[in-house]
């Protein structure tokens, strides 16, 4: 909710700025971050990771389940196949115990056997109907409580995995946001560069048009040749073609910037820096970089560290399968017919409590090899992390050299531009005084155009190198 509120405020501020006709670099960044669909996907992934973390935390608590069932049987349940006659005993005072009442031979007094079985004098009748129960409709229900007591460290490891996974989702979102900001800055300064070159091309066309008028006047006075005028006309035509190319490039670059910002490509707005005379950053970066600070601020390094931790915890999950697991169980049962009271057609229930322990004994090395494989995967992630740190050190060094090289190039182009301005001034003065030729003026104008163009390129390059150095050192983090 807080992020949505911030995004809404930022969007309203951006729209207000756009309505005034000027859009700053920060506004372009905000629009891009708020409108980027890939970033929204990362937001959903963060939300999913948060739910998974809550799911893992619920494993510490007991699970309570309700089960209910109904079953229809076509036949009744009979415990015997026919009426049963059971022999009975009577108490004998003489023998002080119970004895079966058997039919005896009057002559010998011995018990009579029929088909090898003694014949009792009396029996207890158990009719089949009495042992037949109506089980046509069976209802059953149970409420079960299951509480993990010790799962070999699996629950703790899963909670750590989901916590790291949520952090990883946020880190990946930050990394994507950094890429978006970098792309916005590149598109922004591309527009500014082409706008400056548009002004330069227009100025160059004006210079050639002025020279063309002067040569035409001199041609009428007979102090210039037709060839001189044709040379100027060719240069003027080339300058107009270049101006058209710059105009088209500027339109396309504005469309690219609008697309990066998540706006319709035909959106028109003025950039705050496109009319600036000096595009060089106001402050110069220091040369010292603390690599430990860089590693702590880089989103990709943080992501690899989290991935390493996740694989270490996955190894612990595998290790938990090699340890005992203890679970406590409690349940309340309810059935109809009542199995606790002669299968009467009424509800009856009971409760039970207990515990279950599972101890892995022998799996022919399957579990241990699985654990070693997960340890190897964790080691691979650690090696990837170490390799990434080495590459980042080289990346930062290259970015620093490139940044300082851009600064030196800018200083050189600035000096070259001062010299080109002076040469053009002297050539124009000499041309009006008749000591310089048309070719001299055209050469000076071409050199002036080149010097200005190189200065613009150098200024933009300093800006891009500055933002790239911020990116590789982890200082291009977006603010939410």
Q: Hey, what domains does the chain have and what are their CATH numbers?
A: 2-35+153-321+366-472 (1.20.1600.10), 77-139 (no CATH)
What average pLDDT does range 193-217 have in this prediction?
Answer: 92
A 10 A CB-CB count for 33 gives 21
DSSP percent split of the chain into helix, strand, coil, nearest 5: 60, 15, 20
Q: Could you tell me which of 284, 283, 253, 280 has the C-alpha nearest to residue 268?
A: 253
pLDDT at 449 over 80: yes
- List, for residues 14-34, the tens digit of each pLDDT value: 444 444 468 999 999 999 999
- List, for residues 78-137, the tens digit of each pLDDT value: 888 888 787 887 777 777 777 777 777 777 767 787 777 777 777 778 888 877 888 888
The pLDDT of residue 143 is 94
Would the pTM count as exceeding 0.85?
Answer: no
What one-character-per-residue DSSP string does 48-103 give? HHHHHHHHHHGGGSPEEEEEEEEEE-SS-EESSSS-EEEE-EEEETTTTEEEE-B-
3-class SS of residue 120: strand
Encoding tokens for residue 221? 């006075």
Encoding tokens for residue 28? 């372009």
d(CA 381, CA 330): 43
Q: What are phi and psi of 263, to 5 degrees?
A: -105, 160
Between the alpha carbon of residue 478 and those of residues 171, 177, 215, 471, the distances in Å are 12, 7, 57, 11
pLDDT at 434 over 50: yes
pLDDT at 339 over 50: yes
């Amino acid at each position: 909710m807080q992020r949505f509120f911030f995004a809404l405020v930022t969007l309203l501020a951006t729209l207000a700025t756009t309505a005034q006709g000027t859009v700053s670099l920060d506004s372009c960044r905000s629009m891009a971050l708020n409108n980027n669909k890939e970033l929204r996907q990362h937001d959903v992934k963060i939300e999913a990771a948060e739910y998974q973390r809550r799911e893992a935390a619920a494993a510490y608590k007991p699970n309570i389940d309700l089960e209910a069932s109904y079953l229809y049987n076509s036949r009744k349940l009979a415990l015997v196949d026919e009426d049963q006659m059971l022999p009975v005993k009577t108490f004998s005072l003489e023998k002080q115990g119970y004895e079966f009442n058997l039919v005896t031979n009057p002559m010998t007094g011995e018990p009579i056997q029929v088909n090898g079985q003694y014949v009792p004098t009396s029996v207890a009748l158990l009719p089949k109907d009495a042992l037949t129960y109506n089980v046509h409709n069976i209802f059953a229900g149970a409420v079960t409580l299951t509480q993990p007591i010790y799962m070999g460290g699996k629950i703790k490891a899963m909670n750590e995995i989901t916590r790291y996974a949520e952090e990883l989702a946020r880190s990946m979102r930050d990394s994507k946001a950094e890429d978006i900001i970098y792309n916005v800055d590149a598109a922004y300064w591309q527009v500014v560069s082409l706008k400056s070159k548009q002004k330069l091309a227009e100025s160059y066309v004006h210079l050639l048009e002025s020279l063309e008028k002067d040569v035409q006047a001199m041609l009428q006075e007979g102090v210039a040749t037709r060839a001189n005028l044709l040379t100027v006309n060719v240069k003027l035509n080339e300058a107009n073609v270049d101006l058209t190319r710059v105009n088209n490039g500027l339109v396309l670059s504005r469309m690219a910037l609008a697309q990066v910002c998540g706006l319709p490509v035909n959106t028109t707005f003025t950039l705050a820096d496109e009319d600036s005379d000096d595009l060089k950053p106001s402050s110069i970066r220091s040369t010292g970089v603390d690599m430990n600070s860089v590693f702590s601020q880089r989103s990709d390094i943080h992501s690899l560290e989290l991935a390493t931790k996740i694989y270490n915890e996955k190894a612990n999950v595998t290790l938990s399968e090699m340890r005992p697991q203890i679970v406590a169980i409690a349940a309340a049962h309810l059935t109809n017919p009542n199995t606790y009271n002669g299968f009467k057609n009424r509800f009856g229930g009971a409760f039970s409590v207990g515990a279950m322990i599972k101890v892995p004994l022998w799996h022919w090395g399957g579990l241990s090899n699985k654990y070693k494989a997960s340890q190897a995967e964790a080691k691979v992630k650690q090696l990837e992390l170490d390799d990434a740190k080495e590459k980042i050190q080289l990346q930062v060094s290259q970015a620093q050299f490139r940044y300082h090289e851009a600064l030196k190039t800018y200083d050189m182009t600035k000096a070259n531009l001062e010299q080109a301005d002076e040469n053009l001034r002297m050539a124009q003065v000499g041309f009006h005084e008749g000591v310089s030729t048309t070719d001299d003026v055209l050469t000076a104008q071409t050199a002036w155009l080149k010097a200005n163009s190189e200065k613009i390129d150098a200024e933009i390059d300093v800006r891009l190198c500055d933002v790239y150095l911020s990116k590789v050192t982890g200082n291009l983090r977006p603010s939410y």
